[in-house]
Structure 1
Amino acid sequence: MKPFAIMGAAILGAIAISTAFPAVAQKRAVTTYHYDNQRTGWNQQETMLTPANVGPTSFGVIAQVVLDDQVDAQPLLVPNQPITAGLSPGTYQVVYVATEGNTIYAIRASTGTVLLSRKLGTPVPTPLGCPSASGPNVGINSTPVIDVAAHALYVVAYTLISRNPTYQLFALNLNDLTDIIPAVTVAASHLLSDGTTYNFNATYERQRPGLLLSSGIIYAGFGSFCDTFVGQTRGWLLGWQASTLAPLANNKLTDTLDSANIFGQYFLSSIWMSGFGIAAAPTNGNVFFSTGNSGPATYDGVNNIQESVVKMDSQMAKVLGIFTPSDVITLDAGDGDLSAGGVLVVPAQPGPFPSLAVAAGKAGTMYLLNRASLGGFTPGGPDNVLDEQTIGPCWCGLSYFTGPDGVGRVVSSGGVEGTGGVPSNLAEIGVWQIQTSPTVAFVGEGAAVPVASGQDPGTFTTVSSNGTQAGTAIIWATGRPTTNSPAAIYLYAFAAAPSSGTLPLLFSSQAGAWNNTTANANIVPVVANGHVFVASNKQLTIFGLGGGPFVPPAATAAKPAALNAHAPPHQITGVLERADGPVLTLRTRAGKIAQVNDSDAVRSGQIGVLVQGNAYTVEGTTYDSTGALHAQAVGPAKASPAIWPPDR
């Protein structure tokens, strides 16, 4: 291991290796979520990092860069990028990082030096009743997208303008982070089934999926904040011309049912996908995404397309195909979002079904779909799919690569089921061959020993290799925090070729922290040109050959004063034991019973589907004479009490 030195200039905000390391052949740009519009997560141009040289004594941390806020977006990378502003103009390999503080950073990849930064406006405070939002701020929540030829970075920022939550779409110059085109405010409208007009309202919409740039169009998906405001939130897919930022004539609203048709005013059908990017087919530009839950028994496949994989034409004029699991009513009733994972558009395969897609969600079923005919909806089942396999509950993202034998493979990363109501805090990385003859199916090839990963089940992976050359493929994964203190996130590397059915572990290290443990760390490791980039809470960690150990950030000198447990606003987290009308009974982490009256939350719409046995966080200001907390908002909490927010 090599020693570390603190870099002197405060503007760098980084810890860096004091000695030089080998120069990197700057080849691979990472311009979009999961490397490409198909969202494969596969960098097949990695010539430096191999299973032979990634290990605890040869690979480690090169730099740790201090940032202003939590990072939910995946970092992007441009080699040989001119920087024309700031203190150090020149040409560099630049990693671009976007934070929830609405700041875009341009960072030198080899040293961690901050070359440029720009704040795009005041972020919006986290909505009431949404502990699983991004933290104290919601700013840039999704992964931007880069057009290298146009020297442009496109990003959606959530900002306060005249005290109103507002989404703005920016086109920034890669050279200096200035506007190429003036930013536009996100706005849209759509007809409901009764002919009335429904308008986009930024207060109730969360822009989480990674942006897509395809055929000159930028696409963005929207969903809910923690499934609160269920009467005001619906899923949207919007698009703009990249050259002008002019909105497309068409957009997609996933739930167009009018209010008279819905008992309880329950809409949603969110497009969220744990941050996974909207996908596009490589030949025709058709767009793919998945949706979450809506009001039970409201699915019709036309006006409401919840719990579904959806295919649309590039102009969003028409839904071209849909797959909805036959248990859609059960999924809706149990908040079993298919949209907890994204849609992987599989590269062309041999055999009778060359165009495939793969999707998974909270229920833990991984579906193999024919993109030419997604499968529709089969009441009572069986589902019209090519195959399905159980991978564990998936708040996760699938990856793909082709092995030396020419066979395509899918990498799954679902959670390991707990026992006795206790979460396992483990995720299992699995490799599945795509069999194309005599039938099309998944064939399990191997799996890693489960890795530590808490919060909601599952995690995210990417794959690096030198083409399909044998002995070069590595599966990279992150692990979410399992406790509040330390709230550590980890980087793992596995050889992609199993040995006796097991993926060999090559490397593991802490890679950052995630202080807001009520919000999932949907962290995608980015591997390119001999480096691995992991963004977390207020930090970017850069790994490479010759690096040293991770250095945890220094503890804060002064901690904030403790909250007064008896002063409002009050907050309780616990497992829902029963619901008797408006009275909810929760069992807290201490094993005590707490009663909650949810009437106010129901009236304001700040409550989602409640499932007995699941955990919820309740916020309110008053207790009644029976000792019940009157809830202003009720939102989902993680399964493990170790990462629940403090009661107060």
Structure 2
Amino acid sequence: MKNIPIQRLAHWLKFSLLGLFIAVLALSFPPVRQSIAALLTTNSYYLPIVDNSPPYDWFQFNGDASHRGSNRFENKLSISTVGQLKMLFQVPLPAIADGVPVYLSNVSTATGIRDLIFVTTRPGHIAAVDAHTGVLQWSKQYGPGACLINNSSPACYTTSSPAIDPNRKFVYSYGLDGYVHKYAVSDGTEIQTGGWPELATLKGYDEKGSSALSIATAFNGTSYLYVAQSGYPGDRGDYQGHLTAINLTDGTQKVFNTLCSDQTVHFVDSRTTTGPDCYPNTMGAIWARPGVVYDPYHDRILMTTGNATFQPANFLWGDTVFSLNPDGSGSAGSPLDTYTPADYQHLQDSDLDLGSTAPAILPPASGKYPHLAVQSGKDGVLRLINLDQLSGQSGLGHIGGEVFSMPVPMGGRVLTQPAVWVNPVDHSTWVFVSNANGLAALQLTISAGGDPGLASKWTSSAGTSPLVANSVVYIANSGKILALNAADGSQLWSDNHIGPIHWESPIVANGVLYITDQSGNLTAYSLP
């Protein structure tokens, strides 16, 4: 155990006790839960980073239920130290992990206490790797078996990422049998009671687990696991984007379909099987990297659909941002709230999915709209939407209503998830958006009249979904990983020993940088 100076320990305990007090207050007084959630979301950006603080965990894609891609716990890697990074290890995984790792510290295993990295592979493995040596600790697999994409070829695969239970005992991973599986973090023992494994799709040959698994804890204290479904490249077959929300307390689940949303069931393939289906209405994929985003201001979940028919009267929600209750339920067969661009038909006709990205929630803002999110898409447009009323109009099914829009500064479609950062110097809010053309840093602006906007501050090299940790931006592209100064974009460090990159993106945990690649490796970098 580290020797922590008493002043620092006292400082850390002070904020720990503050957090405990706030949690007790929230549970004891339900009417103030929403205000406290907003307070935590706002002020967590400004809590001090304490040297030698205890190890932290990285439970899911981009760290938390809102997937903002901002690591506010990191204190070892900084603008002044990141240039000293050296490769810690590069090890082969059981197969390509086409997503992001997650990290859990101080896991009790048969060989002692270990910090572990977990990854989900394209052929359906869940693998646990020692975070400091790269040694494989355990691996399980639910592979494709006889599953072929669109019942043709090649074999089915997933680009999902795992998620760790808030209780730190279990890790969840998507299997190519159409179920999400629950494993003990210590040794990979699969839990097969209480409803597990949980059904996610009955049409795994047409419906793909593309997005990361996600977990959010609602205001009432219940945690939910979210599994988003999309289609395979080419948009063929009988697939309907849908969400499976699993109650982690009792194992019950709810389903929300983006097409025929009045039917809250897992659809069968009605071409071959008798049962509920929405065919010939297809697509409406949920395929952004985080899949489902938790809105802590309204205790709702948000997601965005890809190309499909938009007909609210017929419960069809193509190219739409929509919100649900944390348990995955809507209202009267529809979402709770929606935003659909006015040019939705053009998006569908031109294969310009709005849902190539998910909403990136910003910290509370001044001006007319305190609760904002950035939504982009394949059309390369950045939109600010009002989380208090997504379309700016009462009711569902309206079109337009974004409070600001602009093209991405570097041009091109956006298939990655933006990262959100608050500059500790002046508390300004920034958004980092990357694509095949470059990386853009934009700052939230508020006009004298209270209207929000985004101002481009700098641009840099192309890459996948960025991550910000301790004022350093990490971004990867095929064969290269970079660290940049978040404030001005200057390059602080780079390495060219990683393989090709698809959906993979970096994480930072306790002074170590990790990334997987299309060569099937996990690479880690640390300070000497």
Normalising by structure 2, we get a TM-score of 0.78
Q: SS at 1:50's partner residue?
A: coil
2:145 and 2:358 map into 1 onto residues whose CA distance is 26
Does 2:467 correspond to 1:462?
yes
**Paired residues of 2:137 and 2:187 also in contact (CA < 8 A):** no
Aligned length: 447
1:350 and 1:95 map into 2 onto residues whose CA distance is 39
Q: SS at 2:82's partner residue?
A: coil
**Counterpart in the other structure of 2:323:** 311
Letter of the 2:316 partner, please give it: N
Q: How does 1:479-628 map to 2 (within 5 A)?
A: 479=477, 481=478, 489-498=479-488, 503-514=489-500, 521-537=502-518, 538-546=520-528
**Paired residues of 1:39 and 1:344 also in contact (CA < 8 A):** yes
Q: How does 1:144-543 map to 2 (within 5 A)?
A: 144-158=162-176, 166-182=177-193, 183-186=196-199, 200-215=202-217, 216-230=223-237, 232-248=238-254, 251-256=255-260, 265-273=280-288, 275-295=289-309, 298-300=310-312, 303-315=315-327, 316-318=329-331, 319-375=335-391, 383-391=400-408, 392=411, 393-403=413-423, 404-416=425-437, 427-435=438-446, 438-451=449-462, 459-465=464-470, 473-479=471-477, 481=478, 489-498=479-488, 503-514=489-500, 521-537=502-518, 538-543=520-525
Letter of the 1:254 partner, please give it: T
Letter of the 1:526 partner, please give it: I
Mean Cα displacement is larger for which, 110-119 or 35-44? 110-119
1:442 and 1:124 map into 2 onto residues whose CA distance is 50
Superposed CA deviations along residues 259-298 of structure 1, whole A, max 9, x for unmatched, are 9xxxx9452111111x223111125430100001125xx5
Normalising by structure 1, we get a TM-score of 0.64
Q: SS at 1:35's partner residue?
A: coil
Letter of the 1:492 partner, please give it: L
Mean Cα displacement is larger for which, 138-147 or 119-128? 119-128
**Paired residues of 1:409 and 1:431 also in contact (CA < 8 A):** yes
1:366 and 1:130 map into 2 onto residues whose CA distance is 37
**Paired residues of 2:158 and 2:208 also in contact (CA < 8 A):** no
Does 2:94 correspond to 1:72?
no
5+ long unaligned stretches in structure 2: 1-50, 218-222, 264-269, 271-278
1:347 and 1:129 map into 2 onto residues whose CA distance is 45
**Counterpart in the other structure of 2:130:** 108
Q: 1:29 to 1:434 in 2, by over 3 A?
A: farther
Q: Among all aligned residue pairs of Structure 1 and Structure 2, give the percentage whose two residues are the same amino acid.
A: 20
Q: 1:376 to 1:445 in 2, by over 3 A?
A: closer
Q: Select 1:83's aligned residue among 109, 119, 142.
A: 109
**Counterpart in the other structure of 2:29:** none
Q: SS at 2:178's partner residue?
A: strand
2:162 and 2:296 map into 1 onto residues whose CA distance is 20
Q: 1:24 to 1:115 in 2, by over 3 A?
A: farther
**Paired residues of 2:367 and 2:452 also in contact (CA < 8 A):** no
1:266 and 1:241 map into 2 onto residues whose CA distance is 29
**Paired residues of 2:56 and 2:510 also in contact (CA < 8 A):** yes
- Deviation for aligned residue 1:119: 2.5
Q: SS at 2:98's partner residue?
A: coil
Superposed CA deviations along residues 333-360 of structure 1, whole A, max 9, x for unmatched, are 0011011112212233334322211111
Q: 1:66 to 1:301 in 2, by over 3 A?
A: farther
1:218 and 1:269 map into 2 onto residues whose CA distance is 21
Q: SS at 1:443's partner residue?
A: strand
Superposed CA deviations along residues 220-240 of structure 1, whole A, max 9, x for unmatched, are 11111124335x111111111
**Paired residues of 1:511 and 1:534 also in contact (CA < 8 A):** no
Larger helix share, 1 or 2: 2
Q: 1:441 to 1:81 in 2, by over 3 A?
A: same
1:309 and 1:253 map into 2 onto residues whose CA distance is 13
**Paired residues of 1:101 and 1:140 also in contact (CA < 8 A):** yes
Letter of the 1:101 partner, please give it: P
Q: SS at 2:355's partner residue?
A: helix
Superposed CA deviations along residues 289-346 of structure 1, whole A, max 9, x for unmatched, are 0001125xx5447511111111112231321111111111111100110111122122
Larger strand share, 1 or 2: 1
**Paired residues of 2:150 and 2:236 also in contact (CA < 8 A):** no
- Deviation for aligned residue 1:39: 1.1
**Paired residues of 2:214 and 2:290 also in contact (CA < 8 A):** no
Q: 1:382 to 1:184 in 2, by over 3 A?
A: closer
**Counterpart in the other structure of 2:20:** none
- Deviation for aligned residue 1:68: 1.8
Mean Cα displacement is larger for which, 523-532 or 145-154? 145-154
Superposed CA deviations along residues 169-199 of structure 1, whole A, max 9, x for unmatched, are 21111111112344325167xxxxxxxxxxx
Letter of the 2:172 partner, please give it: Y
Q: SS at 1:448's partner residue?
A: strand
**Paired residues of 1:72 and 1:142 also in contact (CA < 8 A):** yes
- Deviation for aligned residue 1:439: 2.4
Letter of the 2:304 partner, please give it: S
- Deviation for aligned residue 1:383: 3.2
1:208 and 1:388 map into 2 onto residues whose CA distance is 27
- Deviation for aligned residue 1:139: 4.4
2:290 and 2:505 map into 1 onto residues whose CA distance is 9
**Paired residues of 2:123 and 2:157 also in contact (CA < 8 A):** yes
**Paired residues of 2:432 and 2:440 also in contact (CA < 8 A):** yes
Q: Which has the larger radius of gyration?
A: 1
